[in-house]
Amino acid sequence: MSGPYRHIGAQTTDGTLVLTIEVEQVKDFTLSEELRYELVHAVKSREAKRIILDLRNMTFMTSLACVAFIGVRQAMKDVNGRVVICNMTEFIHKVFSAKRLLVRSKNNGNVAFESAATLDDALALLATDDKQEV
């Protein structure tokens, strides 16, 4: 874990803020809220426009944990940033899918979170967009 955070690690890689969830399971409201606070604080204090949420250490979460991740998405709205989630277990991917957080909205065509299999894939996904903007 890095810096002032108990539940996450934070580092910048290729201009992208990588937030690694350090807890194995998120099952209750208290932990979900603590995680949300740390994630939002990390995003806002670094003013990042590209975020990767690396879930490599997580094996289980309830839908309560989605609140923590939605907090990141909300924090990114003002800067029109992108959030990619990577290293999800099959179970965690199902939780996000069940909450419709990985599919395009029928209203505006946006997706809450993009997903990638690995951290390298997530970095490549964000880099691809940078090259198209130049």
127 phi/psi in degrees, rounded to 5: -70, -35
What's the whole-model pTM score? 0.88
* DSSP single-letter state for residue 82: E
The structure tokens listed for 97 are 């899918």
Structure confidence at residue 78 as a pLDDT band (50, 70, 90):
confident
Instruction: Please provide the CATH number assigned to the domain covering 8-127.
Output: 3.30.750.24
pLDDT given at position 112:
78
Decide: helix, strand or coil at residue 2.
coil
The structure tokens listed for 132 are 């198209």
Q: What letter represents residue 52's amino acid?
A: I
Lowest mean pLDDT among 2-6, 33-37, 60-64: 2-6
End-to-end CA distance of the chain: 35
Please say if the pLDDT value at position 104 is more than 70.
no
Distance from chain centroid for Cα 51: 7
Query: Of how many residues is the chain composed?
Result: 134
Residue in the block written with tokens 């990638």:
116
Residue in the block written with tokens 């937030």:
19
Domain segments of the chain as ranges: 8-127
Q: How far apart are CA 122 and CA 52, in angstroms?
A: 7
